[in-house]
Structure 1
């Protein structure tokens, strides 16, 4: 997802001139580590001290990170290999809402959430601004640092190439398509956003429009489960991964008239048992290495534009992502809330 703003980091080179005094100046002692500070500089001074503090804590606890979702399996392994910090994984398939509701022990240190859930629960998080903070779009980060976007995706149509290539959601009502959403739209965010993508008209969501389209498919007996479908409506990173695993049997398109996008955001728990490890995780995830690892999972790094300008983006992998038709339509929180309310009232009775 194209990041609309970025800030170039200035490199400050300090050199000593010939003939300078050889008298050494005592180094200024570093302040004590504050593992719950707002930034790397404020709490640790540098990455070495952050890494040391995280190693002293001994582990990091995460929740809701399936290994096959945006390459989280590879990211978790790379984090442990790089820093030697053990990762405890809780409920990999937990939804955003479930992550915050889960009465589990040990408590999670960090969260990966949809934007609406993060905004609604901002008071549960410990503010922290990663080193790449200025590269993130203003509209997908909380000004206080409570939450901030890590990666984005477009809603897409994945399809078996033996059926005609659909170019819009309206095409799916034509004969020959058996269609699946990625879950129940009353419970699964990906399925809900699939309905909302189908509801777009000139960039504005009309929930009734999306429900009616899937209602027509349901009444025709052509709305089914993914294993039986020749079309799956899901995020493009999910469909792109499916296509990479089955290059002769799957294609992906992002409809030109429905470029719905969404970000997943990161947050640190206010009661994180391992606050330094939590901050090290975020620094890693938002580093050039972490962002490229997310892109390897076909997600769109939130820092992509700034990384591209600095020559740090993996452009070979970027070329493998589905081509978007243009800037994404991002639902506002009121639009998301209105859509969920409408589906709660109408989905079950309209779609059978």
Structure 2
């Protein structure tokens, strides 16, 4: 899953060796736009003379570097394949289990190299703290994206989202219906959070959701951190980053994660149940952006066009995620109606944190999370 991961010692050693020993590669300006300007300066397909020009420029680059996109996260495996097949562009997928912060770290560490990420898919807190790394670009469907879910200049755009949920294997633990149930001795050593909330978007939102259930608010996540302290003291908190493999094996029988990720587990594990806690409906969308130093700037822009097209949005939906253009696609009749009807039900008014609330929550987590679970 798309969260912070403990990379194996061997993999880490190889990565460090490659960074430390390989000669630096200078990033070129990529292909040219229709006006002859570098592709990295294009702010829409119109700069390439239209979509045909953008496609031609991207095909000439021939490659796209993505990062932190697990194939089982929001249907990214199918999305990457569909893009590659459609345009004949090789997609290099690096560190699929990296966290949002690790995406940014990779961009900074590999700046100027042909291996640097071309695009980002980030949790809100990390995205809004690093907008200086993004290149403005407006996709063809930009106007159909809700105003509050995009930067006015296209510096970043929400792509898909969902609601924070609790998933559990009903064959291994008792049924539950509230967050407080997690303190029950029956769940000793069984409750996992998807990552470190100081680095990973899903984990951050998990703590915020728990805060809502404990009397906190979008302005105050302290009760959420306090709950995890109680969970740790009760011996119920499991410090293991859940994956489809740990869920199927029974290692992580209870997982706090996005509804579309938890719901996806039911395909392989029929006993897996999912619910969005009433009174704690925490919604969130991921942020899509182009690396301003992308080594394949035309391909990066074509990737954005694909993700925000009806085809790309329906592919997110097929993975259980809620596409950002869903309302417009429902009105136009272009949404996959069958998949849309299968989304987990939600009752209650959703809470989505603002940038200011996210910043405040991040500061609190930075100062208190390690102490809470230490």
Alpha-carbon deviation of 1:282? Answer: 0.4
Residue 342, structure 1, aligned to residue 364, structure 2:
yes
3-state DSSP of counterpart to 1:237: helix
Alpha-carbon deviation of 1:205? Answer: 4.7
**Aligned partner (choices 26, 37, 41) of residue 42 of structure 2:** 37
1:25 equivalent in structure 2: none
Residue 64, structure 1, aligned to residue 68, structure 2:
yes
Does the CA contact (< 8 Å) of 1:199 and 1:205 recur in 2?
no
Alpha-carbon deviation of 1:171? Answer: 2.6
Residue 246, structure 1, aligned to residue 249, structure 2:
no
Alpha-carbon deviation of 1:330? Answer: 0.9
**Any idea what the Cα deviations from partners look like across 1:247-303, whole Å, max 9, x if unmatched?**
2x1011111211111111111111222221111100001000000111111111000
2-structure distance, mates of 1:351, 1:108: 33
3-state DSSP of counterpart to 1:142: coil
Change (3 A) 1:63 1:204: closer
TM-score (norm 2): 0.80
Structure 1 residue runs of 4 or more that deviate by more than 4 Å after TM superposition: none
Change (3 A) 1:345 1:37: closer
3-state DSSP of counterpart to 2:196: coil
**Any idea what the Cα deviations from partners look like across 1:126-177, whole Å, max 9, x if unmatched?**
1100111112122221111111011012110112224454332123223423
Does the CA contact (< 8 Å) of 1:53 and 1:277 recur in 2?
yes
2-structure distance, mates of 1:132, 1:308: 14
Aligned pairs for 1:26-175 within 5 A: 32=35, 34=37, 35=39, 36-41=41-46, 43-102=47-106, 103-104=109-110, 105=113, 106-162=115-171, 163-175=173-185
**Aligned partner (choices 169, 179, 184) of residue 196 of structure 2:** 184
2:326 equivalent in structure 1: 304
3-state DSSP of counterpart to 2:186: coil
2-structure distance, mates of 1:68, 1:229: 17
1-structure distance, mates of 2:234, 2:67: 39
2-structure distance, mates of 1:205, 1:245: 38
TM-score (norm 1): 0.85
3-state DSSP of counterpart to 1:87: strand
Does the CA contact (< 8 Å) of 1:54 and 1:276 recur in 2?
yes
**Any idea what the Cα deviations from partners look like across 1:55-77, whole Å, max 9, x if unmatched?**
11121111221112111111111
Change (3 A) 1:155 1:312: same
Larger Rg: 1
Change (3 A) 1:185 1:119: closer
- Structure 2's unaligned 5+ residue stretches are 1-32
- Structure 1's unaligned 5+ residue stretches are 1-29
3-state DSSP of counterpart to 2:236: coil
Does the CA contact (< 8 Å) of 2:134 and 2:156 recur in 1?
yes
Does the CA contact (< 8 Å) of 2:75 and 2:319 recur in 1?
yes
2:24 equivalent in structure 1: none
2-structure distance, mates of 1:338, 1:216: 22
Residue 199, structure 1, aligned to residue 211, structure 2:
yes
2-structure distance, mates of 1:140, 1:71: 21
Aligned length: 321
**Any idea what the Cα deviations from partners look like across 1:70-102, whole Å, max 9, x if unmatched?**
111111110010011111222222222221221
CA RMSD of aligned residues (A): 2.1
**More helix by percentage:** 2
